[in-house]
A and B are shown apart, each in its own frame.
Chain A
Amino acid sequence: MFAVLGLFALFAPFLTLAANRIVAGEGIPVWAVAAPEVTGPGLIAIALSLVLSLPAALPKLRLIGAALGIVALVWLLMQGSETLLQGAGTYARVSLGSGFWFLFAILLLLAADALSYLAPGPLTRGVLLIGTIAALVLILWSGALTDLSIFKEYASRQDAFFDAAGRHLGLAFGSLAVAAVIGFPLGVLSHRNETMRSAVLPILSFLQTIPSLAMFGIMIPILAWVGTTVPGARELGVAGIGFLPAFLALVIYSLLPVVANTVAGLEAAPPAAMDAARGMGMTRNQRLLQVQLPLGLPVMLAGIRIVLVQNIGLAVIAGLIGGGGFGTFVFQGLNQTATDLILLGALPTVALALVSAITMDILVELAQPNTTRHQ
């Protein structure tokens, strides 16, 4: 089915050519982006990759096919963007068309499907992930795609891009770290104390349901008031807008998954084993460190995974209130109706979330305690 969809996608506009960065471009099918002797091999490679995806019983072949298809796509982008820009004017822009996105999505799905059939171990997955990132960095570094509009957007704000990346990572990982430092002890206390649990979890669930924009709305007047009335607060960066309110909002959103998964993780140890541990004279901390933590770690890490992926996505909204991060480009792009500027913010965010999710999945699997000798 994917192969048929892929064939249809070949007829959709692969790239679009526009006179400048704002106006809507004209769609160009994949066979017309460059001379036939260039597009020919690329098209054949894509068709071949779609054919390779057909034999269900051979997941390795399907994976190789998908990889071949993606290489062919990148090759066509490189050739096409260069050719189309020749003689098209100084302000002309080449952007990615619907045909490219369809093909790209289909090939990624094919690769993911083949991978799930192969079910590689955590180490193999780690190697694959690093390999993919290395290939991506190499392509970007080589400058092969600099003719694409999104890279022109990048080239004109290179410093701002790395600044935003740093901010984004700071928001997502920093808020996670703070949430973990607060949430883990809170989870342990909630696990030990029934009254505390019945108070903490509903409050955090309630906070979680506040829409992110409303959360900023609440945060802005409160922090603005603190910034103006508490002496020295302004010097520490407390203000209604900027990094701090965004950071605090992310911390608040992170608490529920961290606390709830800590509690669930601590309860993962079999009740009989806990009774035995108490009966043999283990102290509360010995039970926590020797029994509950090793058995509950995968569940707790799964909580961290939820928070990390959620925060990388939510941190985009920080761009709205001057908190920095990739959201800055997204909202600038929205204001200027410059699609490629939006993509400059959105694509790294998606890539970051994906890499984090896969890395955390690997860690969760590695954290599984041994319960048999051969694993």
Chain B
Amino acid sequence: MIEIDNITKIYEGRPAVDAVSMTIESATITAIVGTSGSGKSTLLRMINRLVEPTSGEVRINGEPTTGMAKNALRRRIGYAIQGHGLFPHHTVARNIGAVPRLLGWDKAKIQDRVDELLDLFSMPPEEFRSRYPAELSGGQQQRVGVARALASRPDLLLMDEPFGALDPIIRTRAQADLHRIQRTLGSTILLVTHDMEEAIQLGDQVAVMDQGRLVQHGTPAEIISNPATDFVAEMVGGVDRPLRLLSLLPISDILEDGAAEGEPIDEKTNLREALSACLWSGRDSVPVERNGALIGHVTLKAIRSRAEGSHELG
């Protein structure tokens, strides 16, 4: 558990981060979202003390970070940034093994860990281990950057716009990969982004920052259905809000027994896709399958009531 306690950073008399407090539960993803200049990157960088807070403190599992040696603290925290920041003169294996090497792991252990991570990121070790960053695609470089940040099994992974330099298609895949890997490893991730869509897709919790202040902190559904300020409402986007909300709701929420006509959809998708299937094929309901077997159906009417319901909340 990471506790950020009333943390403030003042630059030239003006607060860049203004008395922010929040708690990040272990094994969750928290997405900090805000426009540029909102203080979100400064907040992130105060956690591994790349920026020293003017006041307030951060505690990792109850232990204040100010009591630890800076470099020892940073070696416990993974750090992945926009444009990957890989060392151009080191191979993929050496890049990923950077922090374990700083921690003095023995060679065999580092090599095993590198291969394990490459496998996890679907990059066959024997093919990628000895390549240099310049020989990778943008998406591969980004994956190596995240693998490097995860190499020493850190307590916490900080990510500053990790997908910012990727094109949209690769970006969607990278987000899905991160989600899968976070669930597999149970990592605690704090991710900074300017993209509300990304925050909603990835975050178990979303924290919205505006002019140095934390204006709202809650689940994506809460943020969408109940924006605390006009700024948050604007970030969430007016017309797309019902669709964004539906994309967060699982099929199981409104699954009904019985059959329906036409092509089935998978149980693991969300209500947004169910709505899309209804509209595209002109049906009032679609069958739902689990592992290829039909388990029921969802109706357009039920989807609509969920979207409306969310609107009433707002």
Contact = CB atoms under 8 A, between A and B. Distances in A.
Partners in one complex: yes
A126 interface: no
Interface residues of A, number: 23
Interface string A242-274: 000000000000000000000000000010111
B306 interface: no
B87 A273 contact: yes
A373 B81 contact: no
Given A286-B102, A295-B88, A281 B132 contact: no
B192 interface: no
B130 to A, nearest CB: 7
A276 interface: yes
Given A272-B83, A276-B79, A372-B134, A281 B102 contact: yes
A369 interface: yes
Given A371-B89, A371-B132, A279 B79 contact: yes
A279 B74 contact: yes
Interface string B285-308: 000000000000000000000000
Contact of A272 (B71, B73, B81, B148): B81
Chain B, interface residues (CB within 8 Å), range: 20 to 34
Contact of A280 (B82, B99, B130, B132): B99
A308 to B, nearest CB: 26
Contacts of B158: 279
Contacts of B50: 275, 278-279
A335 interface: no
B79 A371 contact: no
Contacts of B133: 371
B81 A270 contact: no
Given A278-B50, A373-B132, A373-B135, A283 B85 contact: no
Contact of B48 (A279, A286, A294): A279
A282 interface: yes
Contact of A295 (B70, B79, B83, B89): B89
- Between A276, A277, A370, the greatest number of chain B beta carbons within 10 A of the residue's beta carbon is seen for A276
A291 interface: yes
A298 B26 CA distance: 46
Contacts of B85: 270, 272-277
Contacts of A277: 85, 87
Given A272-B85, A280-B148, A281-B73, 11 more contacts: A272-B81, A273-B86, A273-B88, A276-B79, A278-B50, A280-B149, A281-B71, A281-B74, A282-B102, A369-B88, A372-B132
6 contacts: A270-B85, A276-B148, A280-B99, A280-B149, A281-B102, A282-B71
Interface of B: 48, 50, 70-75, 79, 81-89, 98-99, 102, 130-135, 145, 148-149, 158
**What are the nearest 7 A-B pairs in CB distance?**
A276-B85, A281-B74, A279-B79, A369-B89, A281-B75, A272-B85, A281-B71
Interface of A: 270, 272-283, 286, 290-291, 294-295, 369-373
